Amino acid sequence: TRVRYWADPEIFPATAQFSYDELVHRVRQTAFLIPGLNITICDERGLPDTPGADGPHEESFCFEGGTVDFVDHLAKDPAVTATMKLAGEGTFTENVQAFDKKSGHLRTKEVERTCTVDIALRWGTGYETEEASFVNIISTPGGGSHLSGFELGLMKVMRSLVESNARRLKLTAKEGKIEKDDVLAGLTAVVTVRLPEPQFEGQTKEILGTAPVRGIVAQVVERELTNVLTSTKRDQKTETQRLLEKVIAEMRARISARMHKEISRRKNALESSSFPAKLADCRSEEVAKTELFIVEGDSALGTARLARNSEFQALLPIRGKVLNVQKASPTEILKNAEVASMIQVVGAGSGRTFDINAARYGKIIMMTDADVDGAHIRTLLLTLFFRYMRPMVAAGRVYAAVPPLHRIEVAGVGRRKAHYIYTYSENQLQQEVAKLERSGRHYKEPIQRYKGLGEMDADQLAETTMDPKHRTLRRIRMEDEAELRSAENVFELLMGNEVAPRREFIVEGAAHIDAQMIDA
């Protein structure tokens, strides 16, 4: 059977086109949900800026693993547990309207329905939650009774496991109970159910409303997940222990973040400040206009303190290389003084509890030296913000200052006064020098090369790096989900625990680097 269709020109404008990326997303999703089904998509339109711009482009999708492969595709972080498959079914009765041939009227009839459940899930080292739910291969982005049943069964199993392992986990009564957010942190799950005549809420079919499905899914999850996590196999016991430790670490991080949040309010006349003593805060309380400069080293802090506008610019110095949070546990992170002080000063919590509306500054600006160590510190800071204060990055409120690399001192001739030219790259330096030589202007040799912020005086730092009228800032941001996935992979490659892929990346990239451009 061939089905062909065109967009109705009375409804759609002539410029309307099918989105190749969205079609691929839907086709891939369907192939995951029906194991063994092979779907091919071919673009023969030849439209610019599409994969088929240079000729017919064809992709095929077929996945034998079903929902397990789907979870592995969605997961962005390193695994804490292997991907688990939970399957089962249950029955329920439902009253429906049926036509009675004898009376010729509709009569209420009780029918038995069967609901089949297929779930795959795994936990990773991150704290983001990725849950995808489907009913009869129809995506339900709003969730519904099947997703609430899944979370209900999940919480029952995890609370039971935590209670039975409380002594081993060193859990005290004062710490309270785990909450849903603690369990969902780092979880990637695909929840699918199949049942006849599902009831949806609203016309868009985004939320499943069939109430009995909730209990059936909860029972399947409770039974199957308990069997997996309480297995006596050595590998599974190790995975279960890692999972419980992660959940407890998330609970403790949530409690610590809440405490930080409670004490991280702007000081006023009635309350004393509990912020780090080294914080040089600003006077303005208008968040949108305020800026927090994270400055490398105490020497640069002294210059920056004189160069800043204390009305809206705050300074927080850090000492050397901060903790690599990609490798550290939440407990280690909160114990680290430098990281804890940054989370406290930003004032919006961390991880899942991060509330961007509570952030105390409109811009966070990383101001590090223009050398290899400065670049490394900036990368470590970016790792912290990406992992634990990601909404600030997504909102475009994290920046990197761009201090100059060179200062050319141009001599005065006649009426022309002596002045300085600042350059920000080797290429720009060569262009400026060539321009001066063509115009017959003389400059002082050797040209000054800044390697540290402390080498500049306050006026120079203000003019080149801190004054909004003259400075250049690089905004750090992610535009879409594809960039987010790419960023996750890059941070894991460069900052994660796996050494071999990082070494391979360095070896492959070494051939493309000019040794003369490296500061050593």
Asked if 211 and 170 sit in the same domain, the reply is yes
Q: Answer yes or no: are the C-beta atoms of 360 and 395 closer than 8 Å.
A: no
Do 1 and 127 share a domain, yes or no? no
* pLDDT tens digits for range 295-334: 987 778 888 999 999 999 999 998 878 888 877 776 677 6
**Strand, coil or helix: what is 262?**
helix
Same domain? For 117 and 228 the reply is yes
**Where does a domain end: 198, 230, 255?**
255
Residue 356 has pLDDT above 50, yes or no: yes
Give the chain's mean pLDDT: 86
111 domain residue, yes or no: yes
Could you tell me the strand order of the sheet in which 187-194 lies? Answer: 84-100, 105-123, 187-194, 130-135, 138-139
Query: Looking at residues 25-32, what average pLDDT do you find?
Result: 94
Q: Are 192 and 142 within one domain?
A: yes
> Averaged over 262-269, what is the pLDDT?
45
Looking at 320-334, 420-434, 438-452, which range is the least confident one? 320-334
Whether residues 415 and 438 share a domain: the answer is: yes
**Inside any domain, residue 74:** yes
Q: Is 237 contained in some domain? A: yes
Co-location of 204 and 94 in the same domain: yes
Tell me how far apart the alpha carbons of residues 155 and 160 are, in angstroms, rounded to a whole number: 8
Strands 130-135 and 187-194: parallel
Instruction: Identify the pLDDT of residue 475.
Output: 92
Q: Does residue 137 sit in the same domain as residue 56?
A: no
Q: Is residue 284 in some structural domain?
A: no
Domain assignment present for residue 357? The answer is: no
The residue out of 230, 255, 280 marking a domain boundary is 255
- Same domain for 76 and 58, yes or no, is no
Q: What is the pLDDT of residues 113-165, one digit of tens each?
A: 999 999 999 999 888 899 999 999 999 999 999 999 999 999 999 999 999 98
The per-residue b/e assignment along 243-263, b for 16 or more CB within 10 angstroms, e otherwise, is: bbbbbbbbbbbbbbbeebbee
Would you say the C-alpha torsion 372, 375, 380, 383 has a positive or negative sign? negative
Rounded CA-CA distance 342/300 in Å is 18
Q: Are 185 and 175 in contact (CB under 8 A)?
A: no
Are β-strands 57-61 and 363-367 bridged in parallel, bridged antiparallel, or unpaired? unpaired
| Closest to 307 in 3D by CA, of 465, 471, 461 | 461
The Cα 147–Cα 208 span in angstroms is 9
Angle at 454 between CA 449 and CA 456, to 5 degrees: 60
Specify whether 43 is located in the same domain as 111.
no
In this prediction, residues 71-84 reach a mean pLDDT of: 92
Q: How far apart are CA 244 and CA 433, in angstroms?
A: 62
Residues 91 and 214 in one domain: yes
Query: What does the angle CA 343 – CA 172 – CA 127 come to, to the nearest 5 degrees?
Result: 40
- Whether 344 shows a pLDDT value over 60: the answer reads yes
Q: Is there a domain that residue 347 lies in?
A: no
Same domain, 161 and 240: yes
Tens of pLDDT, residues 364-386: 999 988 888 888 899 889 989 98
In a domain, 95, yes or no: yes
**Pairwise pLDDT comparison (284 vs 454), residue with the higher score:** 284
Worst-scoring range by mean pLDDT, 202-206, 250-254, 277-281? 202-206
Quote the pLDDT of residue 239.
Answer: 93
Full domain range(s) for residue 75: 68-255
Q: How far apart are CA 130 and CA 186, in angstroms?
A: 8
State the Cα–Cα distance between residues 78 and 360, nearest whole angstrom.
32
The total number of structural domains in the chain stands at: 3
Residue bearing tokens 């399947």: 220
Identify whether 241 is part of a domain.
Answer: yes
State CA 133 to chain mean position distance.
21
